Amino acid sequence: MSDHAHLADHGHDDHIHPEPTNFLAKYVFSMDHKIIGIQFLFSGLIMYAVGGALAMSVRWQLAWPWKPVPILSGLWADYGYRMPPEYYNKLFTMHATVMIFFVIIPLLTGAFGNFLIPLMIGARDMAFPKLNMYSYWAMWPAIVLMSLSFFTPGGSAEAGWTSYPTLSTFRWSTPGSLDGQTLWLMALLFAGVSSLMGSINYITTIIMLRAPGMKMFRMPMTVWAMFITALLQAFALPVLTAALIMQLLDRTIGTNFFAPANWMVANAGNVVGGGQTLLFQHLFWFYSHPAVYIMILPGMGMVSDILSTFSRKPLFGYKPMVFSISAIAGLGFIVWGHHMFQSGMNPALGATFMLSTMMIALPSAIKTFNWLGTMWGGRIQFTTAMLNAIGFVAMFVIGGLSGIFMAATPVDMHIHDTYFIVGHIHYVLFGGSVFAIFAGISYWFPKIFGRMMNDRLGKIHFALSFIFFNGTFFLMHIIGMHGHPRRIADPTVYEFLRGSGVVGMNQFMTINAMLLGLTQLFFIYNFFHSLFFGPKAPANPWHANTLEWACPSPPPYYNFLKIPTVYRMAYEYSADEVAPLDYWPQDQPGKSDTAEVHSGAH
Amino acid sequence: MKTDRLWALLFAFSAIFATGSFIYSRNNADWWLLPNVSSMGREIDHLFIIILVITGVVFIATQIVLCYAIWTFADAPGRKAHYVHGQMKLEVIWTIIPASILVFLALYQMGTWSKIKFRSSLPKVQPVAEVTGRQFQWMFRYAGDDRRLHTDDDILTINDFHFVMGEPTIIHLKSQDVLHSFFLPQFRIKQDAVPGLTIPVWFDSDTAGKFELVCAELCGWGHYKMRGNVTVHANQVDFEAWLKKTKTEQDRDQLALVNAVNGG
Ligand code: HEM
Ligand SMILES: [Cu+2]
Ligand SMILES: [Cu+2]
């Protein structure tokens, strides 16, 4: 593969701009990718706490329907301290919205993408630092609008994170479809703009600013994953944006994109109509299926690097790994219909979507086998980061396998919109993405903040999170196959859900969820204590190969005093040439690319 | 550290918990698949079990490999990692085998899927009722003596669905306002009701008795209580008797209503 990276002149040594000196320019409206990454990290973690609190209120209601919720119940003194049913719908709607759009996407792409991409490719900053700053600050209108929506008449949106019309388009259909839904749409538009600006920046940076010698096929998996993720975002987000604007127009100026003819809600007058309700679902999932991969690919990349570092072994099957994330991204655009098998979409179309969906499980399987191959025969060091990465692999397997049940259209007929789906979602998004985020934070904390985290506290946090996570979510598959619908405020309305087995399971899951929430206190304490009092971190505490470890911890403004030259790929661990050292950083001269000789040649 | 390999136990524990909870739940009527009463439900359960077995084997195998690796390859004095970048043969094997399984699984579903949902496989019978979802109830419209819908002698019920055992049954599913979903968990049937569309749904039952109808698609603040009763009659005679009785009640109520309006 030909390589022009070294031609990009942004990397040249004489190009260092002076560091801004005033506080605002340095820490608030910063254009430094590292500060922006840290900003995304903090706002993501704060929103994670918000989303977690919402989740626990949801769980409370499911375990003990209509019993006063601790703390919150004061809000509902007029209703005998019971949660009104529409409030339950608001809680799960906002929980999912916050977690997806304000926690996982901003943490993975915003925080890690920003911090790591320039460092890992040997660049001084992003290609468009100002765009990068805008991308962070576009998040704030989103957060403010979303928070405001709780205080409008009717309260926040309550049509689910999927926000299907006509529930979401007709103002009187439910209290949250008053102004709350409008604010929700506007907030998501801002969040989308933020992601779009980020992704354009990442793509350009990775293509243009790689250090000399950093060929595409020498890039670490983290960078590959961020690159593919950015492509997914750039191509899928415009479609979501269009869908959100169409819904906004339906709600405000009376267009009828999603309203059929002669239809009405709550006995209000007929609507002229002429639109198609299902159209929104197609547009929404055309973005949101790729979006679920946006939420996992960066995690896969980070986990690949962490597994290799702490197995002290080259990543197994680097090229198959790259090809499989590319395949996931490609196939990701032709599987959206699997969310609509029971929607009234033509069932013949469902059959084709089933085939493509089954095929998308394949690259995930290949990746899993390669991760196991990476650990196999290694010299595994059990750091907090490594444990979280292994947790990711173990849990992602469950999420991938449960996907196969739902890909099978007839089986999906039974489990669609039940707790089985909720189980699947959480195994991929908590078991996958969130464990990857914890792995990433533990791994790069020394680089980001220049101090070490406490390993013992980290391990306690991991072990308890892992146990309570399984306790909270695994049994959802079982009540789901029993038929427990998702998104219902009171399961005991149904006779088949009134048995002590179902009620008991719901309570068991809720108790585990509360404990899972409490466990996060270990993380919060560890994070902040280490931030101020942790031991100073050396430049390369894990003896890793990638370029970010070549600069001091934390890296200085403009990262590299001298742009490094890259001699080989990132995974030369335990190579004989450098023994007794068991790592061989990418920027250390020496014989180059044993990898090209080895890979695939066995 | 020597004790590091003990982490394998944590991962083994979660795998055992997962596998065990599926095995254990089989014996509890509150947990396993509800007893099935329809012919397509039987096929769906069969497909479910096949996927459960295949994914179960894959799951157990990967978890064993993972735990074994943690146990065996944990760092210890004198251990050296095996320097290897990959293996083409392995990559080919673990691409082709899962690919074949997945393609098989996809093709294996097609028969059941087309039989249940394709328009072309709808049984050639008159629909028993028109079902309309609206916030937050199910409305059922049965044909009266003229056997035609939308005439004066239609019989209307709310949240009360009746049909006959052993016969292919069709409903026409509609929504008046927002999305709903017609879900019969004991029959494994689910179909969204979509504003502006009329969707035929067919199913049958091999058991007479009472069942539940669930709304499975979020439809607003009262979604959780949008529940219907389902009664499967043992034969056509029973069903028609119920229809007649309901019609009589409906006429009486209507008369009372007319009288009340005139009197007031
Ligand atoms: C191994 C490959 C996977 C397959 C075959 C698969 C399959 C599916 C299918 C068929 C559905 C629709 C189920 C239904 O509504 O009836 C679904 C839902 C979902 N999947 Fe996956 N999935 C896979 C991986 C993932 C990953 C990696 C993520 C995210 C990180 C993810 C996140 C979700 C979410 C969030 C939903 C639910 C959306 C909603 O209705 O709210 N899936 N998946
Ligand atoms: Cu999807
Ligand atoms: Cu509903």
pLDDT in tens, A284-343: 999 999 999 999 999 999 999 999 999 999 999 999 999 999 999 999 999 999 999 999
Residue B244 and residue B137 share a domain: yes
Minimum CA distance residue for ligand 1 atom 7: A403
Give the pLDDT confidence score for residue A15 in this predicted structure. 59
Residue B161 lies in a domain: yes
SS3 A583: strand
What is the dihedral sign for C-alpha B93, B94, B95, B100?
positive
Q: Does residue A317 sit at the B interface (CB-CB below 8 Å)?
A: yes
Q: Is the per-residue pLDDT at A126 higher than 70?
A: yes
β-pairing verdict for B160-164 and B228-233: parallel
Measure in Å the smallest separation between the Cα of A85 and chain B Cα atoms.
6
Residue A447 CB less than 6 A away from ligand 1? no
Residue A91 Cα to ligand 1 midpoint, Å, equals: 21
The pLDDT of A552-558, averaged and rounded, is: 92
Asked whether residue B211 is assigned to any structural domain, the reply reads yes
Average per-residue pLDDT for chain A:
92
How many Å lie between the alpha carbon of A192 and the closest alpha carbon of chain B? 25
Mean pLDDT for A533-559 is 95
List of domains in chain A: 2-596 (1.20.210.10)
Instruction: Decide if pLDDT at A221 tops 70.
Output: yes
The reply to whether the predicted model has a pTM over 0.90 is: yes
Q: Phi and psi at residue A196, in whole multiples of 5°?
A: -60, -45
Indicate if B173 and B108 belong to the same structural domain.
no
Is a pLDDT exceeding 60 seen at residue A51? yes
Q: Say yes or no to pLDDT of A515 above 90.
A: yes
DSSP B133-181: EETTEEEEEE--TT--SSSTT-EEEESEEEEETTS-EEEEEEESSS-EE
* B221 touching chain A per CB within 8 A: yes
> Quick check: is B80 in a domain?
no
- Domain assignment of residue B124, yes or no: no
Question: What's residue B140's pLDDT?
Answer: 97
Contact B65, A390 (CB under 8 A): no
Interface test with A, best of B16, B85, B210 (most A CBs within 10 A): B85
Contacts of A573 in chain B (CB under 8 A): 81, 83
Distance CA A235, CA A290 (A): 9
What is the reported pLDDT for A19?
Answer: 80
Q: Which chain B residues are closer than 8 Å to A251 by Cβ?
A: none
Distance CA A126, CA A566 (A): 19
Contact call for B75 and A366, based on CB within 8 A: no
Nearest CA-CA distance, residue B163 and chain A, Å: 20
Which pLDDT score, from 0 to 100, does residue A558 have? 87
> Are B138 and B213 members of one domain?
yes
| Cβ partners under 8 Å of residue A169, min gap 6 | A177, A247, A250, A251, A258, A259
Answer whether B192 touches A (CB < 8 Å).
Answer: yes
CA distance A341 to A353: 9
Residue A69 CA to residue A80 CA, distance in Å, equals 11
CB atoms under 10 Å from CB of A514, counted, come to 17
Strand pairing of B189-193 and B169-175?
unpaired
**Is A536 buried (19+), middle (13-18) or exposed (0-12) by CB count in 10 A?**
exposed
Between CA A97 and CA B242 the distance in angstroms is 47
What integer pLDDT is reported at residue B37 of this predicted model? 96
Residue A599 has pLDDT above 50, yes or no: no
pLDDT at position A596 is 45
Q: Which residue in the set A348, A408, A485 is minimally distant from B109, CB to CB?
A: A408
Measuring from atom 43 of ligand 1, which residue has the nearest CA?
A403
Instruction: List the structure tokens of A363.
Output: 């690259």
Please check whether residues B92 and B198 belong to one and the same domain: no
What is the rounded CA–CA span in Å between residue A15 and residue A374?
Answer: 39
Give pLDDT, residue A78: 79
Give me the pLDDT at residue A8, please: 43
Position A591 scores a pLDDT of 65
β pairing state of B155-158 and B180-184: unpaired
User: What is residue A28's predicted lDDT score, i.e. its pLDDT?
Assistant: 85
pLDDT score of A598: 42
Residue A111: C-alpha distances to residues A36, A228, A297, A444, A462 (Å) = 7, 16, 14, 11, 21
Q: Residue type for A587, please? A: D
Q: Compute CA distances A534 → A150, A450, A524, A525, B132, whole Å.
A: 39, 9, 14, 12, 63
Confidence tier at A71 by pLDDT (50, 70, 90)? confident
Contact A351 B114 (CB under 8 A): yes
CB contact under 8 A, B84 and A316: yes
- Do B192 and B135 lie in one domain? The reply is yes
Tell me the best of A338, A358, A397 to mutate to test the pocket of ligand 1, counting ligand atoms within 8 Å of each CB and taking the most.
Answer: A338
Q: How confident is the model at residue A381 (pLDDT cuts 50, 70, 90)?
A: very high
Whether residue B135 is found in the same domain as residue B256 = yes
The secondary structure of residue A499, as a DSSP letter, is S
- Mention every residue, 6+ apart, whose C-beta is less than 8 A from residue A410: B40, B43, B44, B47, B109, B112, B113, B116
Does residue B243 lie in a domain region?
yes
Start-to-end C-alpha separation, chain A: 21
Higher pLDDT, A506 or A594: A506
Q: How many CB atoms lie within 10 A of CB A262?
A: 12
Confidence of residue A81 (pLDDT cuts 50, 70, 90): confident
Look up residue A357 and give its two tokens: 């969906």
Give the A:B interface size as CB pairs under 8 Å. 348
Overall number of domains in chain B: 2
A416 lines ligand 1 (CB under 6 A): yes
Q: Is residue A3's pLDDT more than 60?
A: no
**Domain range enclosing B210:** 129-261
Looking at the fold, whether B247 and B135 belong to one and the same domain comes out as: yes
Sequence-separated contacts (24+) of B75-80 with Cβ below 8 Å? B75/A312, B75/A379, B75/A380, B75/A381, B75/A382, B75/B1, B75/B4, B76/A379, B76/B2, B79/A379, B80/A379, B80/A574
Residues B136 and B257 in one domain: yes
What backbone phi and psi angles, to 5 degrees, belong to B187?
A: -110, -5
Instruction: Give me the pLDDT at residue A593, please.
Output: 53
Claim to verify: residue B230 and residue B253 sit in the same structural domain: yes
Question: Residues B254, B135: one domain?
Answer: yes
B98 touches chain A (CB under 8 A): yes
A52 to chain B nearest CA, in Å? 22
Q: Specify the higher pLDDT residue, A602 or A543.
A: A543
Q: What is the pLDDT of residue A597?
A: 39
Q: Does A382 touch chain B (CB under 8 A)?
A: yes
pLDDT in tens, A129-165: 999 999 999 999 999 999 999 999 999 999 999 999 9
Looking at chain A, the whole-number percentage of residues with pLDDT higher than 90 is 83
Q: Is residue B81 part of a domain?
A: no
Do B110 and B134 fall into the same domain? no
Which pLDDT tens digits describe chain B residue by residue (264 residues)?
668 899 999 999 999 999 999 999 998 888 999 999 999 999 999 999 999 999 999 999 999 999 999 999 999 888 889 999 999 999 999 999 999 999 999 999 999 999 999 999 999 999 999 999 999 999 999 998 888 888 888 999 999 999 999 999 999 999 999 999 999 999 999 999 999 999 999 999 999 999 999 999 999 999 999 999 999 999 999 999 999 999 999 988 888 878 877 764
Instruction: Give B212-232 pLDDT, tens digit per residue.
Output: 999 999 999 999 999 999 999
- Structure confidence at residue A330 (pLDDT): 94
Residues B208 and B146 in one domain: yes
pLDDT at A21: 80
**Residue A268 identity (one-letter amino acid):** A
Q: Which of A76-90, A414-428, A462-476, B130-144 has the lowest mean pLDDT?
A: A76-90
Beta carbons of A343 and B194 less than 8 Å apart: yes
Nearest to A341 by CA among A414, A292, A268: A414
Binding site membership of A223 for ligand 1 (Cβ less than 6 Å): no
Asked if residue A582 lies in contact with residue A230, where contact means CB atoms within 8 angstroms, the answer is: no
